[in-house]
Structure 1
Amino acid sequence: MKNIRLTIEYDGTRYLGWQRLGDSDKTIQGKIENILTQMARTKVEIIGSGRTDAGTHARGQVANFKTDSTVSLPEMIDFLNRYLPQDIVVQKIEEVPERFHARYNAVGKKYSYYIWNDKVPSAFERNYSYHYAQDLDIELMNQACLKLIGTHDYIGFSALKKTKKSTTRTIEEISIKKEGKRLHFTFVGNGFLHKMVRILVGTLLEIGAGELSLETIDEVFESKIRSEAGVTVPAQGLFLDEVYYKEDQRELSVA
C-alpha cells in the first residue's frame, strides 16, 4: 500500500469549499476523489491538511491518500491534471512514508488575504480580493499586527462556539504589504481557528478605518467575545499559500 502526497492549487470561486458534501459535487475534495477513483478503479478517499471555506483559494493545499494502484507517479499527475477541472491543479505528487498524515502532521500554515483598497472596484480582482473603499491608517494597522502576534487564546477572533479543544494558537507573522491599490496581508502560524484569518483581517480594517481602537485587541483577548472583534471579511480574498511539515525541514520559530 502506497501513501501518496499531493500539493494542490485551486480557484475556489465556484466551489462550496474543500470538504466533500454528500449531496453536492461542488467541492474540491469531491472532485479530486472522483478522478482518483476512476484512475485506481476502486474508491479512493483523500485527507486534506484542513478545510477551506466556500470561495477560498489555495496555492499550496496538501492532501494524502493510500492506494494499491500500480499507476506510476508521473502517470498519476498527468491523469489528474487531464481530467480535473481547469480551476483545480495538482502541482506536485510524491510517495511518502506510511505514517504521513496531511492534517495531523502539519506544524503550521501560511495564508494570504488581499484587499482592493480604492474608491473604484476592479472587475478583474473581484474574485480574488475584497473591495474596501475607505482610507486606512496602515501604520496603525501595523501596530495592531504586532499586538496580535504571539501565543494567545484566539477564540474571540474565530467563528467557533464552545469547544473542549484548545483554542490557543501561536502566530509568528502578521504583515501588511501595499502593492499599488492592493493590500497583501500575510499570516503564518502553527494553526488557525475557523474563519480566524478573515476575522483578524476584518478587525485590522476597522482599526485602520478608525471604527475600532487599538485597545480592542487586548479587550477581545481578555473577554473572548467574538462580537467585540471586527467583521468577518468575505472568503474570496483568502488564499492558503503553504502547509508546513517537520518532514520538510520547516518549523515555526515560535512553535
Structure 2
Amino acid sequence: MRYVLKLAYDGTAYYGWQSQKVGNTVQQAVETGLKRVIREDIRVMGCGRTDTGVHAKEFYLHFDWDGIPDERFVFRLNNAVPLDIAIYSCFPVKEDFHARFSATYRKYEYHLLRVPDPFLRNWAYFRFGELDLPLMQKGCEFLLTCTNFQSFSKVKTEVNTFTCKLMECRWEEIDGHLIFHVKADRFLRNMVRAMVGTLLDIGSGRMQLEDLPSVMESGDRSNAGKSVPARGLFLTEVGYPWEKYLIHE
C-alpha cells in the first residue's frame, strides 16, 4: 500500500531534504523515525529537494508499506523524529501517486527583514538599505510574462528544459517585513533565491528595471542578481489533483 505523509520542517540544522553520504538531512531523519515506529527500513520519496537551510511549511512524501497505520501512528511518529520536524497526517493513496511527479504546482515564500531581529535570524534575511517596492512589483509583473528561466538556474544543472509557468509573483509588506510570493508549475534549482536577489538589485538601484528583459533573454546566470541566503526561503504549498489519487473508503 502506498501512503502519504504531510509534514513541515525547520531546515536550519539540515543539509537539505535529500539523503546524502555526508551531513544530516530531513529525509534521513524521517526515515529513521519511520524505522523506529514500524520496525522496518522504509525509503521515502519527497515532493521536492529543498537545499541546505531551506524550510517547508507544507511538504508531502510517499512511501510503500504492507502494514496499516493505527490511530496513534502520527503521534508515535512525531515522537520518533526531531522537534524541528512535525508530522501532520498520514493517509493512503493509489499506487500511481508520486509525491514529486504528481504535483501540479508548488508555492514558495521568501522572508526579508527591513529591521534586524535576532529572534528571526534563522527564518528571514535582513537586507540593509532602501528598497523601491513599487519598482520590485513591476519586476514581478514582467517575470509573470516570462517562460524561460535559465538566467535564474544554477550553473551546470542537468535539466531537460528551463521552461516554467509562473502563476503568482508578488511582494507583500507587513509591518516592515517583506514577503516574496511565487507559485509555478515547476522550479529550477536555486531559481527562487536568484529571482529574489535580482528583484532586490532592481529595488536598490543596482540594476535597472529596463535591463530585466535582456537579463532573461540572455539565459546567463551571471547577468542576474546574486542568490539571497537560504534561511529566508519556505516551501509553503504543494498542489495535487487529490480527487485522482485519494482512496475513498
1:226 maps to a residue whose letter is R
2-structure distance, mates of 1:52, 1:162: 15
TM-score, normalised on structure 1? 0.92
1:79 Cα deviation (Å)? 1.4
Does 2:183 match 1:191? no
SS at match of 1:169: coil
SS state of the match for residue 200, structure 1? helix
Larger mean Cα displacement after TM superposition, 202-211 or 159-168? 159-168
**Counterpart contact for 2:62–2:98, Cα < 8 Å:** yes
Amino acid across the alignment from 2:63? F
Structure 1 stretches of 5 or more lacking a match?
250-255
Which residue, out of 125, 144, 150, partners 1:149? 144
Structure showing the higher strand proportion among its residues: 1
Query: Contact 1:216–1:229 at 8 Å: present in 2 too?
Result: no
SS of 2:167's equivalent in the other structure is: strand
5 Å matches for 1:82-231? 82-118=79-115, 121-161=116-156, 163=158, 165-231=160-226
Task: Determine the C-alpha separation between the residues in 2 that align with 1:57 and 1:219.
Answer: 32
Choose from 48, 51, 54 the match for 2:52.
54
The runs of 5 or more residues in structure 2 that have no matched partner are: 245-249
**In structure 2, how many angstroms separate the alpha carbons of the residues matched to 1:83 and 1:75?**
12
C-alpha deviation, 1:163, in angstroms: 3.6
> What amino acid maps onto 1:68 in structure 2?
D
Aligned length: 244
Give the CA deviation at 1:164: 5.1
The Cα of 1:215 is off from its aligned counterpart by: 2.4
Residue 252 of structure 1 aligns with which residue?
A: none
Q: Is the 8 A contact 1:157 1:220 kept in 2?
A: no
Give distance in 2, aligned partners of 1:15 and 1:71. 27
Contact 2:4 2:93 in 1 (8 A): yes
Change (3 A) 1:175 1:248: farther
Deviation at 1:181, TM superposition (A): 1.8
CA contact (8 A) 1:160 1:194 kept: no
Deviations 1:220-255 (A, max 9, x none): 221100000011000000000011112269xxxxxx
TM-score by length of 2: 0.94
Using a 3 Å threshold, how does the CA distance of structure 1 residues 248 and 236 change in structure 2: closer, same or farther?
A: farther
Shift of 1:71: 3.4
Structure 1 Cα separation of the partners of residues 163 and 179 of structure 2:
25
Runs of 4+ aligned structure 1 residues displaced above 6 Å come to none
* RMSD across aligned positions (CA): 1.4
Q: Aligned partners of 1:67 and 1:48: how far apart in 2?
A: 16
